[in-house]
Amino acid sequence: MVKDRIEIRCVRCNKLLGKVPEGTIAEIEMKCTKCKTIHTYKINNTEALEAQGN
Ligand SMILES: [Zn+2]
C-alpha cells in the first residue's frame, strides 16, 4: 500500500522541499535551498480543503 503524501513545493521555483503524510495539519516555515525563498506553508487535511467554504 502506498500512503498518500502531500508534497511541499517551493512557491517560486517549484522545487520539492519535502513531503508530509496526508492528514497532517501544520504550519511550517521553510527556506528553499535553491532560490532562498522563505515561505510559510499552511498544511491542512486534504478532505478539509475540499470541503472548505470560508
Ligand atoms: Zn525555490
Q: What is the pTM of this model?
A: 0.69
Residue 9 CA to ligand 1 centre (angstroms): 8
DSSP state of 12: T
Per-residue confidence (pLDDT) for residue 48, from 0 to 100: 45
Burial of 11: CB neighbours in 10 Å, binned 0-12, 13-18, 19+: middle
Place of cell 470560508: 54
Reported as a single tens digit per residue, the pLDDT across 30-54 is: 999 999 999 999 988 655 444 445 5
Residue 1 CA to ligand 1 centre (angstroms): 31
Residues at Cβ < 5 Å from ligand 1 ion: 10, 12-13, 15, 32, 34-35, 37
Q: If we measure between CA atoms, which residue out of 5, 25, 3 comes closest to residue 17?
A: 5
Q: What average pLDDT does the structure give for the chain?
A: 84
